[in-house]
Amino acid sequence: MKKLYILLLLCFIGGCSEASFPAIPSDTDFVASLNILGGSIDFISDKAEILESWELEEAYTGFALVTDDLLLVYGYTVEKAKLIELSTGKQLASIDVGEGTTNAYVYEEKIYIANGQDNTVSLYNTEGEKLKTNSTGNYPMAMISDGNHIFVVNFKDEVLSVLSMKLDQVDEWVIPTSSHGLFIQNNELWLGGHGAGSSPNRSIKRININTGELIGEIETPLMPINMARAANGHIFTVSHGSSTVYEISETGEVLNSMKAGANPFWISSFGNSMVLAGYDDHQIYFIQSDEITKKLQVGKGPFQLIVREVE
């Protein structure tokens, strides 16, 4: 009886009701895959080996690194986002965001959360305290910042919301409906998307980041929806509708293309490789010099990647 009492006491002191996952050492580089069909996160080394796997208890649809040691997980049908310390695997805070979270974006440890049910973006600190909320267009989703503004793509609308870093309304720009995927290149905002109905999107729009003026397009059929900068400075995009990866110069010239993955949604830069998530074949692809160098089976439905590279 005495041992049971001590165990219960230790459990109470240590917060045994909190979620707990295998720890990820602070000095370990990784690319992490959020697998939304199987409900798991795989942490993968630069040698394409799984370091740890977390089995998730709720239907999380997105995640973001808040700091090198703090991971945010959220889901469209999940009312609370969670902040988890990677080096201990312990949940540090729970954020009451309500249902409808479509995306989270982190800039200098400030957390911006988009909600597609009430059409808002809210700003939180790393303790999970809400600082401000502002309205957007219909179904805010992709977000990015240049340090001065937050650019918010409203997926079911024809406007892009331009907000200050404190979420004051600044401007609205006309964009195609079903746009998605953002990247900043010099003074340009690059915008991808699915397209709508019988008119799938075939290009990345190049938009003047100061005025919202369309200044050009980059042909990348079909449905370029995610972009990342490689170690060589080139920009890689994944065209979801054709399972094609395009390599683009910094001036917007398409240099190479290759087929990779099955129904891919995400591409990230990790070391000297580009890493692609194949949603339908449940594989992660490491790509160098336009060749697939390694493949790795992960959990079902790899949908999003994040990268941590410790300096």
* Exposure on the CB side of residue 14, measured as CA atoms within 13 A: 12
Instruction: Give the model's pLDDT for residue 14.
Output: 39
Per-residue pLDDT reduced to its tens digit, 150-189:
999 999 999 999 999 999 999 999 999 999 999 999 999 9
- Compute CA distances 250 → 43, 142, 184, 225, whole Å: 30, 22, 11, 18
Bigger pLDDT: 10 vs 235: 235
**Dist CA 282 CA 217 (whole Å):** 32
User: How many Å apart are CA 101 and CA 96, to the nearest integer?
Assistant: 11
- Residue 40: which H helix or E strand, with range? strand 40-44
37 has pLDDT over 70: yes
Given CA atoms 177, 178, 184, 186 in this order, what sign does their dihedral have? negative
Place of tokens 């998605």: 180
- Please tell me what DSSP assigns to residue 260: -
**214, 202 contact by CB (below 8 A):** no
Residue 8 clears pLDDT 80, i.e. is over it: no
Q: Indicate if the pLDDT at residue 228 is higher than 80.
A: yes
Helix ranges restricted to H, the chain: 2-14
User: What is the pLDDT averaged over residues 18-30?
Assistant: 89
Say what the pTM is.
Answer: 0.93
**Residue 12, pLDDT score:** 39
177-198 burial: b if 16+ Cβ within 10 Å, else e: bbbbbbbbbeebbbbbbbbeee
Residues linked to residue 33 through DSSP beta bridges, in sequence order: 42, 305
Nearest C-alpha neighbor of 149 from the set 89, 177, 107: 107
Q: What is the pLDDT of residue 139?
A: 98
pLDDT tens figures, 256-271? 999 999 999 999 999 9
Q: What percent of the chain has pLDDT over 90?
A: 91
Measured between alpha carbons, how far is 37 from 66 in angstroms, rounded to an integer?
24
Q: Taking all residues of the chain, what is their mean pLDDT, rounded to a whole number?
A: 93
pLDDT at 292: 97
Q: What is the pLDDT of residue 20?
A: 86
CA distance 105 to 76: 15
User: What pLDDT score was predicted for residue 18?
Assistant: 54
- pLDDT one-digit tens code per residue, 97-120: 999 999 999 999 999 999 999 999
Which of 13-22, 131-140, 143-152, 243-252 shows the lowest per-residue confidence on average (mean pLDDT)?
Answer: 13-22
Residue among 56, 51, 54 nearest 74 (CA): 56
